[in-house]
Amino acid sequence: MNKLILIVIVSFFSTLAYAQDKPEMADVMRSNGKIYDVVAVCLTILIGLFIYVFIIDRKISKIEKNK
Amino acid sequence: MNKIWWKILSFVLLVYTIVCGFLLDVPRLFILNETIRNLYFHVCMWFGMMILFIVSFVYSVKYLRGFNYRNDIFARHFAAVGCLFGVLGYLTGVIWVNVTWVTDQGQSLGSVLKEPKLIGAAIALLIYGAYFVLRGSFTDIDKRARISAVYNIFAFAMLFPSIWIIPRLVGSLHPGAPGSDSGNPALDKNDMDSTMRMVFYPAVIGWTLLGVWIATLKIRISILSEKSIFEAKKKD
């Protein structure tokens, strides 16, 4: 029993030491593919913005031609 | 101004920025962790702002050389979009400070508020804010254009000392200051990872082109709405 507790404690410390060796990055997010959701959301916003600006651009061009 | 290729280029570069900015590998660093990717957005806002202010400055000088009212409109709108980028850069910086300086480095709010880079950037933005106050206070168009062009040159002269030189003379938490080991991460090739540079420089170009696009839209609207002024000036 004591050995078991010791092992648990030692492994706990070793994970702590491991965590401090290497900076923590969002590796889980990358491995389960959720990062693609983030990319998709940002791309949707970007494309939406560009379509909006493009429509304004076309409207101004139309007014410029009519004057 | 009406050509389409650079608008498409801006779109392509920003799609590239988001896709590669989130998916490519970045250096694993303490404190920064994944927030290092903010480089593609926060820093680009400031670079875009500086480029737009340079363009605005050039048009102000051009205005003073020939007193062509068109150049005044250009200077005004490039400065306006530059200010927009500056405010966005400031706001994104606040969020980034919150997770790196305040939380991870354990800096007190007091030391963050004393931060020369933040104060310098605020001074620069306020000087440009005063440019629009000045513009709004004139009723005479020619006087407004002349005095605000001169003021714009002064504002530009204050821009680089307050956002670059002073924060680098005194110590600063922001990268690029004496006392931090980060060197010059935006421009020095030894201080930034090569894959990050592959995304960063296109990102700067993409965001800047988007800013230029928005500025040209505003300029075209101004030229249309002030058509009567142009026609009156032609008769003179």
Best mutation target, A50, A52, A67, to test chain B (most B CBs within 10 A): A50
Q: Is A43's CB within 8 Å of B30's CB? A: no
Half-sphere exposure of B131 (CA within 13 A, CB side): 33
Is the CB of residue B92 less than 8 Å from the CB of residue B42?
Answer: yes
Residue A16 pLDDT > 70, yes or no?
no
Chain A partners within 8 Å of B211 (Cβ): none
Domain range for A40: 2-66
pTM, 2 dp: 0.88
Q: Which SS3 state, helix, strand or coil, does residue B145 take?
A: helix
Which residues contact residue B11 at a Cβ distance below 8 angstroms, ignoring those fewer than 6 apart? A50, B206
| Mean pLDDT of all residues belonging to chain B | 91
Q: Is A24's CB within 8 Å of B33's CB? A: yes
Structural domains counted in chain A: 1
Q: What would the two tokens of residue B4 be?
A: 């389409």
Domain range for B131: 5-235
Q: What would the two tokens of residue A3 be?
A: 């050995």
Nearest Cβ partner of B224 from A46, A54, A64? A64
**For chain B, which residues score pLDDT lower than 50?**
none
Q: Is A43's CB within 8 Å of B19's CB? A: yes
Residue A14 pLDDT > 70, yes or no?
no
Q: Is B7's CB within 8 Å of A25's CB? A: no
Q: Tell me the per-residue pLDDT of A19-65, one tens digit each, with 9 for 90 and over.
A: 557 888 888 888 898 999 999 999 999 999 999 999 999 999 999 99
d(CA B145, CA B135): 8
d(CA B124, CA B137): 20
pLDDT of residue B219: 96
User: Which segments within chain B are labelled E, that is strand?
Assistant: none
Q: Tell me the per-residue pLDDT of B163-177, one tens digit each, with 9 for 90 and over.
A: 999 988 887 888 877
Q: What would the two tokens of residue B53 be?
A: 């202010």
Structural domains counted in chain B: 1
Which residues contact residue A66 at a Cβ distance below 8 angstroms, ignoring those fewer than 6 apart? none
pLDDT of residue B94: 92
